[in-house]
Structure 1
Amino acid sequence: MLVENIKREVIRLKAKYQTDDPFELCGAMDIMVRKMPMGTHEASCKGFFMVNSRCKTAVINNDLPSHIQRIILPHELGHGVLHSSPAVRTFHEFSLFDETDRLEYEANIFASEFLLTDSDVLDALADRMDFFHAASMLEVPPELLDFKLRLLRKQGYQIEAPYIAHSNFLRRDIDKPLN
């Protein structure tokens, strides 16, 4: 799916359901959100989306801090909105933010569009904040801001994206700075 179509879909969903809260949006869309303990070590699953008998469910690792769950749910919601047709997959466990996989890339785009408005990001950059300070102020991992900056560049903004997002960035402790 084209980036522009993903952006339009995020805008459409927020307007239709009048919310920018991913938990509220899932409820309004009849997508169940289940939280389950899945561990906190590097190899732990952070979440997944599944469809079983036409029931859509986003499962989130509740061993993770709430601010990380807040990032994972929009990613899973992206799978639900963009990839839940039987032709795509009925079950997709993820390695969050893996650019090499088209489905993961699209879910990452959905999450960055859902969590970061163009105006909030542009305002942070207009305040002459450095990249990492802007990510902290916007309460997202730097890698997610990197995805958003790349999208803004595609829209014609003269923004330098650092291109730091790696396929396994959420396997690290995102509460710690990048080395």
Structure 2
Amino acid sequence: MTYFNKPKHIIAGENLAKGLIKRDELDVKFFKANEYFDELFEFFDCEVIDFPMNSKISGLTQKDELGLSVMINSNIPNGMINFTYAHELAHVILHIKNGITPEIDTDNSTSFTSRDKLEIEANQFAAQFLLPDISLKSQVLSNFTLYNIKYNSNVSVDVIKWRLISILTKEYGLHKIDSMKVFDSYRQCRTHETVKNSEMFSVLQEMKLNQMDKKFERDLYGYATWI
């Protein structure tokens, strides 16, 4: 699957991350999307409010006579905070700016089990922005364990799992069941050495050798600016 076959909302999440990496000349392995939330919401003239809400609600994006605002439930678990911010950012970029009003986001809508089109788009944008391909692949090929990635990006294991399985199935062509097995094996790695000897490392290394000798640099510097 080539870059240009990806849905536009996924390309948007990836390009946003790439543009920031390029602009700030970052090491792709250590990209932290959460460091840019304040800047991005300010760019879109969007007020962000952390407020305790019903435990089922994770966030809300709306535009009214007072302007554009995002409310984040301050009671949500730490592991959901970055994803919720990125999910609401997706609503701002993909939906509100195009005149589409999303619903209140709940535990279900910000999970990967949502069936609502807007929520699927926001989830996939969020995951792609938090863990862009160039960063995630570089992390694995630098022998990061699953928990190294989780700590570096401050995202849940579910988000990392969805992203890696997506790469294995859509880019490498593995069946989803086989991709799950590769991920489950990688999940058991506790040291850099075990990552280097894992099937996940082997698959991504083979992808790099066969298809991506120049793709990392092209992906990073060959596309539009970040907004």
**TM-score, normalized by the shorter chain, greater than 0.5:** yes
**Residue 180 of structure 2 corresponds to residue 162 of structure 1:** yes
**Residue 157 of structure 2 corresponds to residue 142 of structure 1:** yes
Of residues 110, 121, 137, the one that matches 1:96 is: 110
Residues matched between the structures, number: 156
- Superposition deviation, residue 99 in structure 1: 3.1
Closer, same or farther: CA 107–150 of 1 in aligned 2, 3 Å: farther
- List gaps (5 residues or longer) in structure 1: 164-179
Larger RCO (CA within 8 A; separation ≥ 6): 2
Closer, same or farther: CA 54–114 of 1 in aligned 2, 3 Å: farther
> Counterpart in 1 of 2:207?
none
Instruction: Supply the AA of the counterpart residue of 1:99.
Output: S
Cα deviation code 1:112-133 (max 9, x no counterpart):
1111121331133335666566
Instruction: Supply the AA of the counterpart residue of 2:64.
Output: N
**Residue 76 of structure 2 corresponds to residue 64 of structure 1:** yes
Other structure's SS at 2:53 match = coil
Other structure's SS at 1:100 match = coil
Instruction: Supply the AA of the counterpart residue of 1:139.
Output: N
CA distance in 1, matches of 2:6, 2:63: 24
Instruction: Supply the AA of the counterpart residue of 1:92.
Output: E
- List gaps (5 residues or longer) in structure 2: 25-32, 182-227
Q: Please show how residues 12-161 of structure 1 align to structure 2 within 5 Å.
A: 12-14=15-17, 15=19, 20=33, 21-39=36-54, 43-53=55-65, 55-64=67-76, 68-84=80-96, 85-86=98-99, 88-89=100-101, 91-94=102-105, 95-97=109-111, 98-126=113-141, 131=146, 134-136=149-151, 138-153=153-168, 155-157=170-172, 161=179
User: Is the 8 Å Cα contact of residues 75 and 110 (structure 1) preserved in structure 2?
Assistant: yes
Of residues 13, 21, 27, the one that matches 1:10 is: 13
More helix by share: 2
Which one has the largest radius of gyration?
A: 2
Closer, same or farther: CA 67–132 of 1 in aligned 2, 3 Å: closer
Aligned residues with identical type, % of pairs: 21
> Counterpart in 2 of 1:168?
none
CA distance in 2, matches of 1:162, 1:4: 23
- Superposition deviation, residue 8 in structure 1: 2.9
Coordinate RMSD, CA, aligned: 3.1
User: Is the 8 Å Cα contact of residues 130 and 153 (structure 2) preserved in structure 1?
Assistant: no
Cα deviation code 1:52-84 (max 9, x no counterpart):
137221110123355532221110111111121
Closer, same or farther: CA 122–60 of 1 in aligned 2, 3 Å: same
Instruction: Supply the AA of the counterpart residue of 1:162.
Output: M
In the superposition, the TM-score normalised over structure 2's length comes to 0.56
